[in-house]
Chains A and B, each alone.
Chain A
Amino acid sequence: MVVGCVDMAISAIKNTANKVQQAFYNAMPNFVAGQKADKFYKTAGREISSAENRLILGATALMSQPFIDFYNRTIDEDTRRVAVCRTIAKIIAGTVTGYAVRKGAIKGIQMCSKLPGKDVPKWQTLFTPKDVKKVDTDEFKQYQNALGTFISLGVMLFTNFLIDAPLTKFLTNKLNAKASGGTK
């Protein structure tokens, strides 16, 4: 009885979700990418790895987050000033470290995921899956990006504490001192 009711509820939720999705696609106009847009999409899919993604996020964050903190009227002026300074510092430190670590890890994986061959040392095939026969494909490039990104997350366990956090602290204090006219 209870199981039946749960099943009915799940099915009702799924039906509603499908109806909402269908309504969304009905309202959405058909979009056919022209030659230039098509090329742009394909290049983005091939070239934007997690490193570039982090850079884009950082750049757009600098354009929005400090302003949101600046206009946050729920806190006093002093706290708001520190919050804005820390947000800017956090974005700069996070973006610089995040980009560098991801890019470095992806480059490292690219060096160590070549096809086995006569002149290729074994360490350069360390991360090449055995069932892969071709490495000059988009799929393989995406695989290298994915593995590099996962490894970079491991590296960031350390860099977050060793570089990110102290750099954020340093930049926050510098920016805060400047924002408060050198009095702090």
Chain B
Amino acid sequence: MSLDKVLSNLYKNYGENPGKMLLHTGTAGWILSCAAQVMAIITNDKIAPEQKTFLIPQEIGDGLINILSFYILTSSVKNLASKAVLNGKIANKAIKGYLEKNKLTDKIGKIDFNIKKTENFAEIKEDFNAFKNGVDVLASTAGSILSCNIVTPILRNEYAAKKQVQANEYLAKRREEKPVAQQPYNRITMQGYQSILKSPGMRV
């Protein structure tokens, strides 16, 4: 695909839909962020191995939950708000006036009603799009605040606590199996962590 085609697609897809862009780029951003944060914990020598056994799964769980909850919650909030504008439940004075003038007020709030598909939509197109973009962007922002800052931290703590118990049990078992001199517990390596992940019940 040529660069111009990519640019034209971006223009068509996101030019009139900034809320969708925030949702898509936000999801991609969380994936990258999760990868970086896991690496930061693994390479931090000042965090004790026992704490790492909590923090690493916490970060992986955080990432997975973050990505899923971000996408599901943000897209739900955005779509509900977006549809509310399309069916006239959320409007400004110009949109309300348009609905009254065209005798469409009885259709307000019906999920199969879409103002954009009405006959004289061109009359308010510009005003409607600007208003809808604003509602979309604010709904996407509200959805991301709800998912990333409230739902995710609560869910990830529950998840990580369970993982810590499993990881500590595994480390304790390994301590029993190996002589003290062979225990490299001053830090947990990526290989070490992966071997923990490969043990039964620790796959994430």
Which residues does A use to contact B, with CB under 8 Å? 18, 21-22, 24-26, 28, 30-35, 37-38, 40-46, 48-50, 53-54, 56-57, 60-61, 63-65, 68-69, 72, 74-75, 78-79, 82-83, 86-87, 90, 94, 98, 127-132, 138-140, 142-143, 145-147, 149-150, 153, 156-157, 160-161, 164-166, 168-169, 172-173, 176, 184
B156 to chain A minimum Cβ distance, whole angstroms, is 9
A139–B154 CA distance with the chains assembled, in angstroms: 38
Chain A residues with Cβ under 8 A from B154's Cβ? 68
With contact pairs A83-B58, A164-B33 given, residues A130 and B8 touching in the complex (Cβ less than 8 Å): yes
A148 to chain B minimum Cβ distance, whole angstroms, is 10
Given contact pairs A45-B18, A165-B39, a sample of 5 additional A-B residue pairs in the complex whose CB atoms are under 8 Å apart:
A31-B89, A41-B134, A143-B15, A146-B10, A165-B36
Quick check: is B65 within 8 A (CB to CB) of the other chain? no
Chain B residues with Cβ under 8 A from A161's Cβ? 36, 39
The segment out of B19-27, B185-193, B194-202 that lies at the interface is B19-27
Chain B residues with Cβ under 8 A from A68's Cβ? 150, 153-154, 157
Contact for B10 among A42, A49, A147, A176, CB less than 8 A:
A147
Query: Does B55 contact A86, Cβ atoms closer than 8 Å?
Result: yes
Quick check: is B32 within 8 A (CB to CB) of the other chain? yes
Chain A residues with Cβ under 8 A from B47's Cβ? 82, 172
Q: What would 14 A/B residue contacts be, using CB atoms closer than 8 Å? A: A25-B89, A26-B109, A30-B89, A30-B91, A35-B93, A45-B135, A64-B150, A74-B158, A75-B54, A75-B161, A83-B58, A94-B33, A129-B11, A146-B10
Quick check: is B148 within 8 A (CB to CB) of the other chain? yes
With contact pairs A86-B55, A127-B7, A173-B44 given, residues A32 and B141 touching in the complex (Cβ less than 8 Å): no
